[in-house]
Amino acid sequence: MILVGCTLEGRTLRPESSEALTSFEELEGLLTAGGPWVCGMDFPFGQPRGLVEALGWPPSWEGYVGKVSRLSKDEFEDAIKADMATRPPGSKFRYRLTDRRSRSTSAMRLFRVPVGKMFYRGAPLLLRSGVSVEPCRPTGCDRVAIEAYPAVVARRVLARRSYKSDERKKQTGEHTEAREELVTGLGSEVLGEAYGFTVEVDEAWHERLVADPMADELDSLLCAVQAAWAYGRRGKGWGVPQECDRDEGWILDPELLART
């Protein structure tokens, strides 16, 4: 896990630091560190309402995340698989509204991109830490966690083009060119018109963001873009639309406000 620290001044967001978190204990330490801060995190904070109801879990976010925190990893995965077994072919996964609008995978998924496992480890940490989880559990705390999905930001510049691969050996020149275009695009009015600010990176940051084939720091910076946008709407519900089921969670991004 990579944490890129940024500052927002007026219409400019600047990356200033980078830190590797090598364990969930370190992530928990970050969550309990003093504020104020707003952090965009790339994993699902919640699960689909239909899944929660089908499994008989408590309906509130606090309730079912608390339930999940008491399950072993195998018990959690078995519960997901049991629900999938009752579903017809081609519809094994349930989706949150925010998953459909962002065109992301289901928060239930346990393989390939195992975001369900990320939820299992991450959501209980959020609950235990006492941070304000928008919109699932707003507490008024000056430590604020928002759900982010960097692909939504990247699409504004690259459309559906890929800028990374999970395996270094599968990296291509097209990936490097896409990262170059993406990093440059973060400073353009394409981003400014959508988010209300642009990202300013110096030459050293530009080079390291383009050079990293796994794009870990770049993804973290894209999460910071969404966190900064949400912060600018903190007095108006953090950019969460009225139709959001707050117990499912929401990916904070202006594109998700426009989709139906």
Q: How far apart are the first and last CA of the chain?
A: 32
Q: How far apart are CA 222 and CA 152, in angstroms?
A: 9
For residue 151 the two structure tokens come to 């692909």
Q: Is the pLDDT of residue 25 over 60?
A: yes
24: which 2 tokens?
């969930």
Rounded to an integer, what distance in angstroms lies between the CA atom of residue 39 and that of residue 144?
6
With a cut of 80, say whether residue 165 has pLDDT above it: no
Cα distance between residue 135 and residue 245, in whole Å: 9
Interval 59-84: pLDDT, tens: 999 999 999 999 999 999 999 999 99
Q: Is residue 136 predicted with pLDDT exceeding 60?
A: yes
